[in-house]
């Protein structure tokens, strides 16, 4: 791709970007939120039309005006958020639009074996007749890859393929990627995990503010250099800020959960939170991290146990009640549970406080505007103004808007489920810094995350989950990678 540009209203998303991928290489495309990665990918795959520039495959100029044309030219894509149909069976998802026919009718038997064959290439063995939505996000991701992968695929674009995968699954994915690479397929790999880039990528291209700011072999681009290219500044200062604030628990528990649980969802567990304390929830994918968070917030109604906030028992547990008791929740899946795409940034943010106040005492427009601007500045949300529909922001900025909504209600207990998923390095540091600051001011925080390093960095204590059970708690001073993994693995700690 040469000199490709694209402008959206108010933003020049790409500015004369050259991007070259060679056959049989894994090419990492890096950049912060809003750097233009998604736009570049969408142009490559025909989802968006470029304004200027040219695309060549094997030196031959080609026109890619629709996803269908991109597929015909051998460009397969797996988008950041799984774009399959959860209510349909795996078979249907894999064969949609190209069902095998027999006498003009769809042959479901052939379709099923075709689906199984496609999955086998990725070494997955699942029941292809079950609806896709009944599988975990990780399996859905793999099915999406299976769908994108055709016999004649030349370029495979993977946009954040590992965002929802745990370490083992990511490793499995990488094996598949190496396998594909060996078959001469060019792989464009977008991720926020630096470790994974250095593990798998051969070359790296870095975008910043819609421009290509660096390109080179992975070996020649050390980590610090890469990060400073992405951020356009040196990283040391952010690293330093991370270490600056000491944290520690003070006083009486503000949240007390006793025997909280729900049959078939989560075994009863106990949990306490003190003001200024950060408690992490660690465990593998599907171990019950999200369930614990939602049970405490009342988004999943518990059928056993009790919960007290600030000494007062919450009788009828619901998100609305939790909110009124000073809790706030920031969900994991922003597309499905976080954002209101049609509503503006301002409306998305003020909703957090408005629900607490009830429908009768509406925040005035000027108050809304003030709150929104405050949050936009505090979290560095990249938007031309507060009235832009949130659906038009980049993924990371949407995540920040959801965080802003949970902060705007002025909570004393904040529950974050995967707070940094799909967020770039710079924003990551900003969010962690902000969380630290709030904790210093007495906020109690519960963080569920699949990234152990992140948990270790922020947590005072870590509750370890396995198979929907809380199997242990690791106290302060003992929070290391090893103790957590040992606990998960089942050794007595």
Partner 1 sequence: MTPGSNVETKTAALRPRANTETAALPQRLHGLRALAGHRAIWPLLALALILAVDGAISPGFFNVRIVEGRLFGNLIDILYRAMPTAVVALGMAVVIGTKGIDLSVGSVIAIVGAVITWRIHSGDPHLVVLMAALAVGVLCGLWNGFLVAVLDIQPIIATLILMVSGRGIGLMINLLYGGTNPSFTSPLLQGLSVGHIGLVPTRIILGAAIFGALWLLIRRTALGLFLESVGGNAAAADLAGINARLIKYAAYVICGFCAAWAGVVLAADTHTSDPVSIGLYIELDAILAVVIGGGSLSGGRIYLGMTVLGALIIQALTTSILTSGLPPEYNLVVKAFVVIVVLLLQSDNLRAALSKGFTGRKR
**172 sits near partner 1 (criterion: CB under 8 A):** no
Among 167, 213, 343, 457, binds partner 1 (CB under 8 A): 343
Among 56, 123, 357, 481, binds partner 1 (CB under 8 A): 357
**339 sits near partner 1 (criterion: CB under 8 A):** yes
> In the window 289-328, what residues touch partner 1 (CB under 8 A)?
297, 299, 318-320, 322-324
Residues 70, 245: contact at Cβ < 8 Å?
Answer: no
**Beta carbons within 8 Å of 131's beta carbon, 6+ residues apart:** 86, 87, 88, 89, 90
Q: Which is nearer to partner 1, 175 or 318 (CB)?
A: 318
> In the window 176-215, what residues touch partner 1 (CB under 8 A)?
none
Q: Which is nearer to partner 1, 315 or 360 (CB)?
A: 360
**429 sits near partner 1 (criterion: CB under 8 A):** no
**How many Å apart are CA 232 and CA 238, to the nearest integer?**
13
Name the token pair of 8.
Answer: 């959206």
For residue 296, with 0-12 CB atoms within 10 Å meaning exposed, 13-18 middle and 19 or more buried, which class applies?
A: buried
Q: Which of these ranges, 83-91, 237-245, 333-341, 451-459, lies near partner 1 under the rule CB under 8 A?
A: 333-341
Among 97, 250, 361, 477, binds partner 1 (CB under 8 A): 361
Among 405, 421, 436, 466, binds partner 1 (CB under 8 A): 405
How many angstroms separate the Cα of 474 from the Cα of each of 40, 479, 490?
A: 44, 6, 13
Q: How far is the CB of 209 from partner 1 (least distance, A)?
A: 9
Residues 307, 187: contact at Cβ < 8 Å?
Answer: no
How many angstroms separate the Cα of 288 from the Cα of each of 96, 299, 332?
A: 33, 14, 13
**How many Å apart are CA 23 and CA 25, to the nearest integer?**
6
**25 sits near partner 1 (criterion: CB under 8 A):** no
Q: Which is nearer to partner 1, 351 or 457 (CB)?
A: 351
Q: Which is nearer to partner 1, 342 or 453 (CB)?
A: 342
Strands (E), 263-397: 266-273, 278-282, 304-309, 312-313, 327-330
Q: Which of these ranges, 59-67, 105-113, 158-166, 339-347, lies near partner 1 under the rule CB under 8 A?
A: 339-347
**137 sits near partner 1 (criterion: CB under 8 A):** no
Q: Residue 258's CB: how many other CB atoms inside 10 A?
A: 14
Among 127, 342, 441, 478, binds partner 1 (CB under 8 A): 342
Q: How far is the CB of 177 from partner 1 (least distance, A)?
A: 32
Q: Which is nearer to partner 1, 216 or 310 (CB)?
A: 310
Q: How far is the CB of 178 from partner 1 (least distance, A)?
A: 37
Helix (H) or strand (E) holding 349: helix 345-357
Q: Which is nearer to partner 1, 21 or 330 (CB)?
A: 330
**358 sits near partner 1 (criterion: CB under 8 A):** yes
DSSP state of 363: P
Q: How far is the CB of 97 from partner 1 (least distance, A)?
A: 22
Among 105, 244, 360, 491, binds partner 1 (CB under 8 A): 360
**How many Å apart are CA 42 and CA 26, to the nearest integer?**
18
End-to-end distance of the chain based on CA atoms, in angstroms?
A: 54
Name the token pair of 57.
Answer: 């495959």
For residue 168, with 0-12 CB atoms within 10 Å meaning exposed, 13-18 middle and 19 or more buried, which class applies?
A: exposed
Indicate the pairing of strand 186-190 with strand 26-30: parallel
Site of interaction with partner 1 (CB under 8 A):
7, 10-12, 15, 297, 299, 318-320, 322-324, 329, 331, 336-343, 347, 350-352, 354-363, 384-385, 405
């Amino acid at each position: 791709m040469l000199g490709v540009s694209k402008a959206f209203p108010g933003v020049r998303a790409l500015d004369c970007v050259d991007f070259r991928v060679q056959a049989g290489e894994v090419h990492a495309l890096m950049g912060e939120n809003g750097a233009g990665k998604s736009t570049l990918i969408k142009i490559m795959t025909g989802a968006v039309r470029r304004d200027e520039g040219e695309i060549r495959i094997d030196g031959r100029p080609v026109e890619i005006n629709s996803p269908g044309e991109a597929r015909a030219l051998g460009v397969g894509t797996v988008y950041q958020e799984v774009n399959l149909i959860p209510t349909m069976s795996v078979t249907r998802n894999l064969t949609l639009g190209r069902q095998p026919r027999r006498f003009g009718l769809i042959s479901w038997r052939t379709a099923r074996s075709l689906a199984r064959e496609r999955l086998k290439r990725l070494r997955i063995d699942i029941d292809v007749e079950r609806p896709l939505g009944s599988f975990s996000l990780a399996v859905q991701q793999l099915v999406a890859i299976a769908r994108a992968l055709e016999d004649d695929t030349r370029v495979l674009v993977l946009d954040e393929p590992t965002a929802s995968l745990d370490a083992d699954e990511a490793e499995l994915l990488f094996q598949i990627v190496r396998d594909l690479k060996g078959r001469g397929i060019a792989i464009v790999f977008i991720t926020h995990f630096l470790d994974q880039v250095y593990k798998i990528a051969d070359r790296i291209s870095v975008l910043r503010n819609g421009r290509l700011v660096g390109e080179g072999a992975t070996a020649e681009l050390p980590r610090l250099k890469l990060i400073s290219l992405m951020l356009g500044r040196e990283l040391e200062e952010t690293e330093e800020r991370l270490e600056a604030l000491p944290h520690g628990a003070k006083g009486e528990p503000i949240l007390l959960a006793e025997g909280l649980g729900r049959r078939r969802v989560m075994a009863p567990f106990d949990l306490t939170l003190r003001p200024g304390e950060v408690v992490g929830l660690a465990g593998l994918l599907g171990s019950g991290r999200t369930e614990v968070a939602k049970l405490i917030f009342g988004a999943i109604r518990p059928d056993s146990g009790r919960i007290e906030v600030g000494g007062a028992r919450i009788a009828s547990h619901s998100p609305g009640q939790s909110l009124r008791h000073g809790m706030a929740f920031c969900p994991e899946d922003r597309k499905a549970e976080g954002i209101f795409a049609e509503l503006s940034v301002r409306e998305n943010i003020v909703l957090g406080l408005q629900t607490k106040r009830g429908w009768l005492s509406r925040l005035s427009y000027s108050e809304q505007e003030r709150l929104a601007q405050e949050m936009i500045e505090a979290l560095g949300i990249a938007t031309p103004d507060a009235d832009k529909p949130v659906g038009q922001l980049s993924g990371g900025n949407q995540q920040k808007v959801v965080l802003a909504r949970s902060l705007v209600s002025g909570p004393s207990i904040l529950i974050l489920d995967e707070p940094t998923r799909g967020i770039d390095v710079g924003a990551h540091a900003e969010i962690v810094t902000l969380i630290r600051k709030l904790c210093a001011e007495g906020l109690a925080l519960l963080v569920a995350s699949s990234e152990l390093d992140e948990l270790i960095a922020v947590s005072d204590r870590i509750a370890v989950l396995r198979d929907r059970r809380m199997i242990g708690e690791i106290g302060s001073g003992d929070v290391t990678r090893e103790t957590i993994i040992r606990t998960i693995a089942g050794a007595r700690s």
